[in-house]
Amino acid sequence: MSTDILRDFERVPSSLVRQAAEYQAAILADVNGRRGALHGRIAALRPRMKIAGTALTVDVRPGDNLMIHAAIALAKPGDVLVIDGKGDQTAALMGTIMMTACKQLGIAGVVIDGAVRDSLEIDEMDFPVFSVGTNPNGPTKNVPGRIGHPITCGGVTVRSGDLVVADADGVTVIERERVEALLPQARRKVEDESARIAQIQAGHTAAPWLAAALRTAGVLKEGESL
């Protein structure tokens, strides 16, 4: 098979994907050093949509979906199609027919730096799709591309096998090798945030670090307070 298609790559173990699915994309981005969040132009078709799975990358020319069809044929259950459509919104790269195939095959969702169509039908299917928007125009199916190679999607480098978690806030991608070490940090962050929310609800609304940060920034002089 052409070297443009890479079939073999290591995926995040399904047990770790299940654990990661418990966390918001924002929590995972925070513990990943505030890195890995795709540009906000790539958003859920509906706010309730969520994804947790392993990336299968697809690189296409704007307006052409030939390689997306090939990727659907190669994908394994639990994969997330992550498609570099170059941010193009002049034609939809996927619609109801392709999304139905994805759902039937157990693909976990689609993240596409490009447009889709048939958004009402996709909503009714309850299949998670994250895109830069919609467009009624259909694509061509003529131009070669690549599958399985590293891509840039929403300004973030994505490799096949990396973790993808997406929700109403957007999409976070974490390098496969980092996932296991970051999950305990995500758990601690959730616990810390829950404790802080409880403090706020008890009346302690001021951030405990605020005064020191204001002094460091020169807003407050030593000994001053708000």
> Tens digits of per-residue pLDDT, 121-150?
999 999 999 999 999 999 999 999 999 999
pLDDT tens, position by position, 168-202: 999 999 999 999 999 999 999 999 999 999 999 99
Helix, strand or coil for residue 98? helix
Instruction: Tell me the CATH architecture of domain 14-183.
Output: 3-Layer(bba) Sandwich (3.50)
* Measured distance CA(213)–CA(140) in Å, rounded: 54
pLDDT of residue 224: 86
pLDDT in tens, 46-60: 999 999 999 999 999
Helices of type H across the chain: 14-20, 25-31, 66-74, 96-105, 119-125, 179-201, 210-216
Per-residue confidence (pLDDT) for residue 49, from 0 to 100: 98
Q: How confident is the model at residue 223 (pLDDT cuts 50, 70, 90)?
A: confident
Number of H helices, E strands in the chain: 7, 11
pLDDT band at 225 (very low <50, low <70, confident <90, very high): confident
What gap in Å lies between CA 186 and CA 150, rounded to an integer? 26
How large a percentage of the chain has pLDDT more than 90? 96
Decide if pLDDT at 226 tops 90: no
Q: Could you give the CA distance from residue 186 to residue 28 in angstroms, rounded to a whole number?
A: 6
| Residue 1 pLDDT exceeds 70 | no
Entry field: residues in the chain: 226
* Dist CA 83 CA 132 (whole Å): 11
Domain ranges of the chain: 14-183
Quote the pLDDT of residue 26.
98
Average pLDDT, the chain: 97
Q: Could you tell me which residue, 224 or 41, shows the higher pLDDT?
A: 41
> Does 2 score more than 80 pLDDT?
no
Task: Flag whether pLDDT at 11 surpasses 90.
Answer: yes
